[in-house]
Structure 1
């Protein structure tokens, strides 16, 4: 197994980078996953022989944390019971599936897999993660890419893009996205809180 990019990952990276390798066996992936287990700032995705290795940069973490903070503020203000499951690892019963969302939530009671998975994409490219989420039956996937949200709902085994969350139909996505991108996070939370009250 030759992965040319591995030496580069010993240095801290300022921004997100993605590397895709096609044709890895599940056993090769498990070996690689064990090697990266204790290295912070690296996220792995594996689905049917396709590996995506992503280094987590500062912008990615700021956006991910902002989304989580604002969404949890929304749950609090609206009295919505939820379980935050963060970037929990979703591993298929059969070999060949390994997935971690950036943020994820179960609405209402805790479940084996979250209802909403959120992916922050700072650099384009990479694997089609909707296939992975489809395997785990994640009902909604929110992609934040090119500074905007695209929401997908699983219906009849396939994802269809939707205009608003079916779990959170009153969430104003335009306002939410605007607040996610505000540089002053205290101001963002105050603006969002004031608007949703």
Structure 2
């Protein structure tokens, strides 16, 4: 009789190449927290947890430029409008026993004052006002944002920017951003990202700033 025993291997030892996505079902909240601790903070991978499913993905290198560029565009727009903000990068946001997610970038805008000087999130901290993702198409990630209550999520993928607004507990796709109601974000950002591949990020951002000035 042959007995097949399960093999247990730490998640941190799983080698993921850029562009890889691993989905692990039936993960409890305690297991999720343990995996987060095991993976540590200094890593390229991003996680999403929802409905007992853990998703780990490693962005492609060509996603780094759009991520940084879109973050810089948000900063330019906020500065142009005279609005203050606190950037929180790829901080891990969690709603205990329910969901967890790590954006490529995120911003506190309405709640920026509350988050000044915050080194670690507190249980009663609000979600960021805007989260940015550059290669997400999975339901796990979008549902995690929904449960955590992020009011606006931008997803940039394959030359297109989708704007999702949280309305009555569900995300609705929109052509406009309520944070920047007078700017055609869905058109300008893809144009600027494509321009950056041609002339470099600095010039593309300069051109963007001139276009909205």
**In structure 1, how many angstroms separate the alpha carbons of the residues matched to 2:62 and 2:68?**
10
TM-score by length of 1: 0.86
Deviation per CA, 1:102-145, whole angstroms, max 9, x where unpaired? 11112234252211111111xx6544322111112111111112
**In structure 2, how many angstroms separate the alpha carbons of the residues matched to 1:161 and 1:38?**
31
Q: Report how far residue 43 of structure 1 moved.
A: 1.5
SS at match of 1:128: helix
Match of 2:15 among 2, 6, 9: 9
Match of 1:91 among 88, 91, 94: 94
**In structure 2, how many angstroms separate the alpha carbons of the residues matched to 1:38 and 1:82?**
23
1:115 aligns with 2:118: no
Match of 1:57 among 55, 60, 74: 60
More off after superposition, 76-85 vs 124-133:
124-133
Match of 2:106 among 104, 107, 115: 104
Kept after mapping to 1: 8 A contact 2:48/2:140: no
Cα 1:22–1:125, aligned 2, differ >3 Å: closer, same or farther?
farther
**In structure 1, how many angstroms separate the alpha carbons of the residues matched to 2:94 and 2:72?**
26
Q: Report how far residue 66 of structure 1 moved.
A: 0.7
**In structure 1, how many angstroms separate the alpha carbons of the residues matched to 2:53 and 2:79?**
39
1:191 aligns with 2:207: yes
**In structure 2, how many angstroms separate the alpha carbons of the residues matched to 1:7 and 1:69?**
34
Cα 1:99–1:77, aligned 2, differ >3 Å: closer, same or farther?
same
Q: Report how far residue 164 of structure 1 moved.
A: 0.4
Deviation per CA, 1:38-59, whole angstroms, max 9, x where unpaired? 5521222111211110113321
1:149 aligns with 2:155: no
**In structure 1, how many angstroms separate the alpha carbons of the residues matched to 2:107 and 2:53?**
26
Cα 1:78–1:88, aligned 2, differ >3 Å: closer, same or farther?
same
Cα 1:43–1:189, aligned 2, differ >3 Å: closer, same or farther?
same
**In structure 2, how many angstroms separate the alpha carbons of the residues matched to 1:3 and 1:117?**
32
Question: What is the 5 A alignment of 1:139-178?
Answer: 139-173=151-185, 174-178=187-191
Q: Report how far residue 179 of structure 1 moved.
A: 0.7
Kept after mapping to 2: 8 A contact 1:151/1:163: yes
TM-score by length of 2: 0.80
C-alpha RMSD of the superposition: 2.3
